[in-house]
Amino acid sequence: MRNNLIAANWKMNGDTASNAALLAGLRLANPNRSCEVVICPPAAYLGQVQALLPEMGFVLGAQDVSAFESGAYTGEVSAAMLRDFGVRYVIVGHSERRKHHAESDELVAQKTKRALAVGITPIVCVGETWAEREAGLAEQTVKRQLAAVIHANGHCISEIVVAYEPVWAIGTGQTATPEVAQQVHALLRAQLRAATERSDRMRILYGGSMNPGNAAQLLAQEDIDGGLVGGASLKGADFLSLVSAAG
């Protein structure tokens, strides 16, 4: 049995006052929920959020991690540094970083490896653009992206979380239908099954404009185990609705 996971990706949003107000509103979340909730603020606010989360029963996540262990890499944040702040999850390979920072499949695989080495669970993002889907390359794209991570991490692959985020549905208001999302999630599950005997316990999240109106249908699919939530995570009532839908 896989418990759902809802991860809030605040992206580059927030300040100390609005962060505190948002988290104060989230204290209304059902303490008896079965799903796990992860909050991923910008790195500058990890300390603030870390101090506020324990009483809420949420866990701390980060939005990125360096591919390097330590050294002369100005501006980078290492996995060990994230662990020092109590970070338990980290997003790697988000489509915005693949696009704006030219992150390759190999770099994403290396970041995954760094996180796993210090006991942080990577949320590995995969997903196709609209052009790739239109060209019939959606399945090939997500399988290639995940294959790089599997190849680099071997038997440790069972310790990751995968997030399918169709690039064309991120921040656009468009959402993959539950049937289309399930089709890709099932494909990824099969790929993981070929790589590890523990695939059935691994969680695969949907990311791409999940909101209170579509969450229940998406989460009802057999291989969708939660959501990586962007815009809706910045609205307290909306995020609480998603947490409730996830159990």
Active-site residue 165, yes or no? yes
Question: Which one of the listed residues 96, 103, 165, 185 is annotated catalytic?
Answer: 165
DSSP 137-195: -HHHHHHHHHHHHHHHHGGGGGG-EEEE--GGGSSSS----HHHHHHHHHHHHHHHHHH
Q: Which amino acid belongs to residue 236?
A: G
Q: Rounded CA gap, 227 and 161, in Å?
A: 11
Q: Rounded CA gap, 218 and 178, in Å?
A: 5
Here the tokens at position 153 are: 């991490």
User: Is there a contact between 46 and 40 (Cβ–Cβ < 8 Å)?
Assistant: no
User: Is there a contact between 31 and 57 (Cβ–Cβ < 8 Å)?
Assistant: yes
Active-site residue 94, yes or no? yes
Count Cα atoms within 13 angstroms, Cβ side, for 169.
23
At which residue do the structure tokens 């866990």 appear?
59
Longest alpha-carbon distance in the chain:
48
Question: Which one of the listed residues 94, 96, 103, 185 is annotated catalytic?
Answer: 94
Active-site positions? 94, 165
